[in-house]
Amino acid sequence: MDEQGFLAGQAPEYIGTALAVVSVILIARQNILGWPLGILWALISAWLAFTRWNLVSDGILYVSYVPLQLYCWFTWHRHGSVEESFRPRWLTRRQQMFLLIGALVAVLLWGSSVKLFSEHVSWMTPPALLWRDAITTVLSYFAQLLQARKRMENWLVWVIVNALGIHIYLLKESPIYAAQYGFFLILGVYGWWSWRRTMREGMA
């Protein structure tokens, strides 16, 4: 198969899915190597989102994952991925409330901005599934930042993102990426269990 045939087929989706699954497993196990694999997945996914699926918000999300995952990689490296002072823990109730309000406001601002931008920029195609795409995009940012700081809430946010991701990619007729988000959903439960066990060991 030539290069054009390779890129036009489903091979990039398979490769992206494999990288993503291994990355999440490693992060769930608090292995720092999950971050560089996540960067490769983000680059492949950004290309697919813009060129194949017309998911503008997701494309922007995947591109921005590169510096964001570099930040996560640096943070885990600086603290040491399993040192005593850098174990998983929950936010306070007050912080959780601010997180919820901040997420709602961010989704409204993001979706409205993408809609306005697409209406006034000639080269930008109308975004597909605007609000569903906006929700997964914004919540993914929140989840990544929570994950970088090892806050348990990240896994709960990922459940919402992954469930909605399955729905979106089934609508976009990409069963491979829909299955990827299905794996993410399962791995999110595993990640929560694994981090919760580490948290309890630290309290013992």
| Terminal C-alpha separation, the chain | 56
Question: Which helix (H) or strand (E) is 181 found in, with range?
Answer: helix 175-203
d(CA 7, CA 180): 19
pLDDT of residue 179: 87
1-22 per-position pLDDT tens digit: 444 554 556 788 888 888 988 9
pLDDT of residue 77: 87
Domain boundaries, position 190: 3-203
pLDDT of residue 59: 82
> What is the 8-class DSSP label of residue 86?
G
Buried (b) or exposed (e) across 59-82, using 16+ Cβ within 10 A?
bbbbbbbeebbeebbebbeeeebe
Indicate the residue type of 64: S
| pLDDT less than 70: residues of the chain | 1-9, 57, 80-85, 123-125, 202-204
- In this structure, the number of other CB atoms found within 10 A of the CB of residue 39 comes to 18
> What is the 8-class DSSP label of residue 89?
B
d(CA 29, CA 112): 37
- Backbone dihedral angles phi then psi of residue 81, each to the nearest 5 degrees: -65, -20
pLDDT of residue 130: 85
pLDDT of residue 129: 82
pLDDT of residue 83: 54
pLDDT of residue 6: 46
d(CA 52, CA 136): 18
Residues 6+ apart with CB under 8 A from 4: none
Q: Strand pairing partners for 89?
A: 151
The stretches of 9-129 forming alpha helices (DSSP H) are 11-28, 34-48, 56-79, 93-120
Query: pTM of the prediction?
Result: 0.77
Separation in Å, CA 198 to CA 82, 86, 89, 92, 195:
9, 11, 9, 19, 5
Q: Is 4 exposed, middle or buried (0-12, 13-18, 19+ CB in 10 A)?
A: exposed
Q: Structurally, how many domains does the chain consist of?
A: 1
